[in-house]
Amino acid sequence: MPAVRTTPVAAVDSAGLLAELRLAGNNPGALYGADVEAPGAGHFSSENPAGGNVLAEIGRASIYDYERVIESAVQAAARLGALPAPARGELVRRIAVRLREQKPLLAMLVSIEVGKIRSEGAGEIQEMIDIADFAVGLARQFGGRTLASERPSHRLFEQWHPLGVVGVITAFNFPAAVWAWNAFIALVCGNAVVWKPSPKAPLVALAVHRIVAAEAAAAGMPGVFGLLLSDEALLGQRMAGDTRIALLSFTGSSAVGKTVAQSVAARMGRSLLECSGNNAVIVAPDADLELVAPAVLFGAVGTAGQRCTSTRRLIVHETLYEPLLARLARAYARVRIGDPLDAATLLGPLIDAHARDLFRAAIAEVCAAGGEIVFGGRHLDGPGYFVQPTLVRAHADWPVVRRETFAPILYAMSYRDTEEAIALNNAVEQGLSSSIFTRDIATAEAFLSARGSDCGIANVNCGTSGAEIGAAFGGEKATGGGREAGSDAWKSYMRRQAVTINWGRELPLAQGVHFSLDD
């Protein structure tokens, strides 16, 4: 039975939306970032993945633009770093107010430009608002540790200072929220932020930038937010090698992340990497399938399988394997595919033709390996880049299972005991998100133990996707090891300084060292 597709793709006055978001420039044929006013490097296109039509032509930032944005950020960082942290928090608070006002329009733009369904588009902007609120509170909580000195009349403590300029390179799948994770925390820490968004989502970046840059200018802090729009790798490469950028946060593939890390390390800089995920759900024999089925459905199908936390592998105890696959196949058949702005839609398009080609290639590889497609496996004819949600009986050792494919493909395999399940969970290069469904405390604790899941995120009785901003987000192994958003992830955006104050009249040395010319 084919998946349900909603038709037609709604006709949206995208030009009117762009005008309402104040994205229309003086040149009706092109749009430029607020910090890219002297384009000399041509244009690239923003495409609607649901219709395959061009939304706008974007001015490509040149090397001249790059230098101007970076220098402006360096100067702004010096001013911002001198501002008290609560005052920096006030700027983020004002930005959050504007985001709340513009949430419906921004959410619609996310859906139009990257194909997220309406609730996920709204959730994207809400995530920005949530991290802004978190950052405002954080601005009044920075503190260093006071430590016990072994020397008399000495005080030993730690304090934190801004880094300067933070660079942020984001992917298309979260075109606004991931930037906000970095930017709002970096700003309250005292840093200017330069953003190079995915060339697949330049309009979302431009809309967000216009809002935040206007608030920064109104607060007397122009230049603390910089924007570089380009579909070429050159500017990203320059950011990786630029000593003026103290920290470079990169979200994308592990292959590119490795190159970024090497370039930043070569200049003794800092990098924060959020790369690929190949996330698994383990279903124990005592699992509640009423919880498992919707969690797996959202994890595997939500955002068209284009989240770094998307569920890609399903590891099911052999006693529940057939019942769960039958239940999921029935659920997949009810998934409505189509216009992301239609409230009934659950599965929007893949981002572009290349993503659709990768889906096709993965399905061909599955079939060549002898895999059985339980449901789906086809792309849909017509405008846009739509594919069916796909469920596959698979083997853990297949190369296609061991790598990340950004598409709604779920590979299901069975296991016999908990040790085997955990080994299967860990048997991939990536280490982002993981999940187990069980009511047995020993099974859950085994999964959460040091010998359990090797991922940065481990969930019990909830899926791999849908992380909250209160916890630090990130993964291990080929995922990169970075941490963003909540908890103490703010420490990535500051430098730690150990301070010793001698308030006495003698100069004792640590470790009992004696060094004197009088002896």
pTM of the model: 0.94
What CA–CA distance (Å, rounded) separates 298 from 193? 33
From the candidates 113, 127, 274, 404, which is the catalytic residue?
A: 274
Provide the residue-wise pLDDT of the chain in tens; the chain has 519 residues. Answer: 345 544 445 545 666 777 777 775 433 334 444 454 445 568 999 999 999 999 988 999 999 999 999 999 999 999 999 999 999 999 999 999 999 999 999 999 999 999 999 999 999 999 999 999 999 999 999 989 999 999 999 999 999 999 999 999 999 999 999 999 999 999 999 999 999 999 999 999 999 999 999 999 999 999 999 999 999 999 999 999 999 999 999 999 999 999 999 999 999 999 999 999 999 999 999 999 999 999 999 999 999 999 999 999 999 999 999 999 999 999 999 999 999 999 999 999 999 999 999 999 999 999 999 999 999 999 999 999 999 999 999 999 999 999 999 999 999 999 999 999 999 999 999 999 999 999 999 999 999 999 999 999 999 999 999 889 999 999 999 999 999 999 999 999 999 999 999 999 999 999 999 998 886
232 catalytically annotated: no
DSSP-assigned states of every residue in 123-192: HHHHHHHHHHHHHHHHTTT--PPEE--SSTTEEEEEEEEE-SEEEEE--SSSTTHHHHHHHHHHHHTT-E
DSSP-assigned states of every residue in 327-352: HHHHHHHT-EES-TTSTT-SB---SS
Domains defined for the chain, CATH in brackets: 12-275+484-495 (3.40.605.10), 279-469 (3.40.309.10)
From the candidates 308, 404, 455, 484, which is the catalytic residue?
A: 308
Encoding tokens for residue 461? 């009785």
* Helices 234-241 and 254-266: angle between axes, nearest 10 degrees: 40
Q: Name every residue whose Cβ is closer than 8 Å to that of residue 432 and which is 6 or more positions away in sequence.
A: 276, 277, 278, 279, 308, 309, 455, 456, 457, 474, 475, 476, 479
- For 201, list phi and psi in degrees, rounded to 5: -140, 50
β-strand partners of 81: none
What CA–CA distance (Å, rounded) separates 516 from 519? 6
71 catalytically annotated: no
Looking at residue 27, its pLDDT comes to 37
- The residue count of the chain comes to 519
- Of 412, 373, 406, which is closest to residue 281 (Cα–Cα)? 412
What CA–CA distance (Å, rounded) separates 485 from 134? 9
Looking at residue 36, its pLDDT comes to 46
Encoding tokens for residue 289? 């399938």
What CA–CA distance (Å, rounded) separates 279 from 389? 17
Encoding tokens for residue 502? 């001698």
Q: Where are the alpha helices (DSSP H) in 342-472?
A: 353-369, 399-402, 418-426, 441-448
Tokens 């399905």: give the residue.
363
Stated as kind and residue range, the H or E segment containing 322 is: helix 321-333
